[in-house]
């Protein structure tokens, strides 16, 4: 009886692992809403690049961006920088939500956000600031 129970547990674990492997989100899903958000983020990235390079804006550990050092932005440009950061964070949050929805799993939004956060940080250029898991800014 012990042996049969052990086999049952092993079989259930194998099924659970197989289900988990199949239950990964398609991060490349392409709906009109996802494509519009990606386009907006790509276009805004061109405006944010100078702020990343100067260290004024950094990539956060939770998949967003932040005005890291406002003094690195000339006073007349600060409002525009803040607006860019706010718009970027709004689009990124919408993108994570929309990808989860398009996968039929809105409850995966947090995991999708975390995956994108890692990707954004990995793809950051040398010299840009990123947050580590503890929320500290580090220069890449």
Q: Please state whether the predicted TM-score (pTM) of the whole model is above 0.85.
A: no
| pLDDT tens profile 65-95 | 999 999 999 999 999 999 999 999 999 999 9
Report domain extents, the chain. Answer: 30-139
Burial class (CB in 10 A: 0-12, 13-18, 19+), 65: buried
| pLDDT tens profile 119-130 | 999 999 999 999
Among 20-29, 35-44, 69-78, 101-110, the minimum mean pLDDT is found in 20-29
- Distances from the Cα of 24 to the Cα of 63, 72, 82, 90, angstroms: 19, 40, 34, 24
Report the pLDDT value the prediction gives residue 23, as an integer from 0 to 100.
57
Q: What is the CB neighbour count within 10 angstroms for residue 140?
A: 15
Binned at pLDDT 50, 70 and 90, residue 3 comes out as low
């Amino acid at each position: 009886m012990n042996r049969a129970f052990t086999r049952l547990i092993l079989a259930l674990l194998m099924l659970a692992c197989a289900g988990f492997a199949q239950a990964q989100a398609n991060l490349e899903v392409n709906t009109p809403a996802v494509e519009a958000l990606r386009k907006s983020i790509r276009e805004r990235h061109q405006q944010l690049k100078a702020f990343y390079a100067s260290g004024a804006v950094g990539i956060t550990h939770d998949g967003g961006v932040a005005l890291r050092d406002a003094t690195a932005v000339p006073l007349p440009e600060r409002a525009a920088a803040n607006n860019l950061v706010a718009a970027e964070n709004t689009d990124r949050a919408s993108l994570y939500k929309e990808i989860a929805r398009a996968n039929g799993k809105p409850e995966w939004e947090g995991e999708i956000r975390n995956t994108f956060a890692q990707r954004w940080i990995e793809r950051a250029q040398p010299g840009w600031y990123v947050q580590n898991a503890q929320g500290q800014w580090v220069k890449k």
